[in-house]
Amino acid sequence: MIIAIDGPAAAGKGTIAVKLAQHYGLNHLDTGLLYRAIGRLMTEQGLDLDDPEAAGAVARQLRPKDLAHADLRGREAGELASRVAVHPEVRAALVDFQRDFARTPPGAVLDGRDIGTAICPNADVKIFVTASPEVRARRRTDELNAKGRDVPYERILAEILERDERDSHRSAAPLRQADDAIRLDTTALDADAAFQAAVAIVEAGHE
Ligand code: DC
């Protein structure tokens, strides 16, 4: 079984993807990590993130060990990722790896922005996870505060809106709900309720 989960930043798709993979005994790939690692490598090498050729070259040389970098999950890496993700050269370099991962038995849950639309258009189940920008910003701010990082809510909200704008309006595989994806709005749901709703979608898709 292949489950495609797409949606904007901080909507809860990562948590849902991890739990679904555990629940159904599937592999899991957080595809955002690929773009984050490319952004990080380019910065370390002093390369221009807006240079499509340089970004494509780094993407083609990406190795699994690059995904283990310590601070790939932070805000800064997310911003770098969103910038390199606009280049068709980068996206093309990552397609085969993601499709091979999805096809490897027993199947997988992949989460990202273009899984249902571009990477796995024939996925068995497609879920588009979303939530209001305000609730997503509130969750991110609370997560950071819990780690002792005092970042103002307004700044997080502005970053989220900027990332939504860039991810949705780029020409290469923009963030978009696939026509056959089921929308899961987590605005009023906690993590457990969101997971239960995702399981219900998977079960309904397999009747
Ligand atoms: O899911 P995330 O926050 O880790 O993603 C970081 C950025 O990477 C996101 O803003 C856009 C890009 N991305 C993408 O373009 N396509 C994907 N499948 C996953 C992430």
Sketch the domain layout of the chain as residue ranges.
Answer: 2-201
Please report the atom of ligand 1 found closest to the CA of residue 86: 15
Task: To the nearest 10°, report the CA torsion of 175, 118, 55, 84.
Answer: 10
Q: What is the pTM of this model?
A: 0.95
What CATH number does domain 2-201 carry, 3.70.10.10, 3.40.50.1000, 3.40.109.10, 3.40.50.300? Answer: 3.40.50.300
* CA atoms of 3 and 143, how far apart (whole Å): 27
Q: Whose CA is nearest to atom 4 of ligand 1?
A: 32
* CA atoms of 73 and 32, how far apart (whole Å): 9
Q: Is the dihedral of CA 85, 161, 129, 122 positive or negative?
A: negative
pLDDT value at residue 119 = 98
* CA atoms of 96 and 139, how far apart (whole Å): 33
User: Could you give the count of Cα atoms lying within 13 Å of 152 in the half-sphere of its Cβ?
Assistant: 3
29-78 pLDDT, tens digit each: 999 999 999 999 999 999 999 999 999 999 999 998 999 887 898 889 99
Computed over its alpha carbons, how large is the radius of gyration of the chain?
16
How far is ligand 1, taken at its centre, from the CA of residue 35, in Å? Answer: 6
DSSP structure class, residue 28: E
SS3 for 128?
strand
Residues contacting 49, CB < 8 A, separation 6+: 39, 42, 43, 55, 80, 83, 84
86-144 pLDDT, tens digit each: 999 999 999 999 999 999 999 999 999 999 999 999 999 999 999 999 999 999 999 99
SS3 for 107?
coil
> Which protein residues touch ligand 1 with a CB less than 6 Å away?
9, 31-32, 35-36, 78, 81-82, 85, 112-114, 163, 167
Which tokens sit at 93?
């370099």
- The continuous run of DSSP H or E covering 207 comes out as none
- For a ligand 1 pocket test, name from 13, 159, 167, 177 the mutation site with the most ligand atoms within 8 angstroms of its C-beta: 167
* CA atoms of 132 and 91, how far apart (whole Å): 27
pLDDT value at residue 70 = 77
pLDDT value at residue 206 = 59
pLDDT value at residue 47 = 98
- The continuous run of DSSP H or E covering 68 comes out as none
Q: Whose CA is nearest to atom 5 of ligand 1?
A: 32
How would residue 207 be classed by pLDDT, with cut points 50, 70 and 90? low
For residue 106, is the peptide bond before it cis, meaning its omega torsion is within 30 degrees of 0? yes
Q: Whose CA is nearest to atom 15 of ligand 1?
A: 85
